[in-house]
A and B are shown apart, each in its own frame.
Chain A
């Protein structure tokens, strides 16, 4: 089956640090990947859609300069949380959709980000 690998699984760092999260599709090509944020006991909120070779599309209210997205290949997208602060602490999940038509999104295992 389709596997999406997300790394790291957990990050603890000081306020002001920039943190990079990687999302890889291991056995399929994904022109489009997605970044979600999940607050405790809540559902997933789409932050941005990552497009290979072009700029990401951000949802309303998401700061693109704060959450930098790079999608340099058909199997890798990265999310960098720049100058992270405690309010950025959250569970970040990526997903990827196989380039074939009508394929569902497959999710990574998420990254627990804790900013001290």
Chain B
């Protein structure tokens, strides 16, 4: 069975400061992990994905995430927040060989203050 836990429902940062969105997963098999971003009344945009290659994954808009098997974590980071980063972020897990069944975290709302 697979599951994903996003530890924070809300995160607030000031513009220009680092962003950390936490995600822990559980998977019986080798997982694929994704971070998606959703702006209000929009669909989901893929930020980055981990599929058993390099453990440090770089995505779009300056985001990156590190797969840590020992900690079963896949936290999303960005060195410097921008106002446009304010959105809902979803951590998602699937089986590495079957990305049809996505298990979504409950989401983290990121607020960025000027």
Interface residues of A (CB under 8 A from B): 4, 6, 9, 32, 34, 42-44, 46, 49, 91, 93, 95, 97, 102-110, 112
A-chain residues with CB within 8 Å of residue B105 when the two chains form the complex? 43
Docked-complex contact B43 and A107, CB < 8 angstroms: yes
B106 within 8 A of A: yes
Q: How far is the CB of A18 from chain B (nearest CB, A)?
A: 23
Choose from B36, B51, B100, B106 the contact partner of A42 (Cβ within 8 Å): B106
Interface residues of B in 18-48 (CB under 8 A from A): 32, 34, 36, 41-46
Q: List residues of chain A with CB within 8 A of the CB of B107.
A: 42-43
* Structural contact, A102 and B100, CB atoms closer than 8 A: no
Residue of A with least CB distance to B34: A104
B90 within 8 Å of A (CB atoms): yes
A103–B41 CB distance below 8 A: no
B98: nearest chain-A partner, CB-CB: A102
Contact in complex: A34, B34 (CB < 8 Å): no
6 A-B Cβ contacts within 8 A? Answer: A43-B105, A91-B41, A97-B99, A104-B99, A107-B43, A107-B44
Contact A43 B99 (CB under 8 A): no
B41/A110 in contact, CB under 8 A: yes
Q: How far is the CA of A6 from the CA of B42 in the complex (A)?
A: 10
> Measured between alpha carbons, how far is A4 from B46 in the docked complex, in Å?
12
User: What chain A residues lie within 8 Å of B36 (beta carbons)?
Assistant: 107
> Do residues A102 and B43 form an inter-chain contact, with CB atoms below 8 A?
no
B90 touches A106 (CB 8 A): no
Q: B43 — which chain A residues lie within 8 A by C-beta?
A: 4, 6, 93, 95, 107-110
- The answer for the CA separation of A112 and B90 in the assembled complex, in Å, is 19
Asked if B102 is at the interface of the complex by the 8 Å CB criterion, the answer is: yes
Known A95-B43, A97-B100, A104-B99; further 5 A-B contacts with Cβ < 8 A? A46-B101, A46-B102, A93-B44, A102-B97, A107-B43
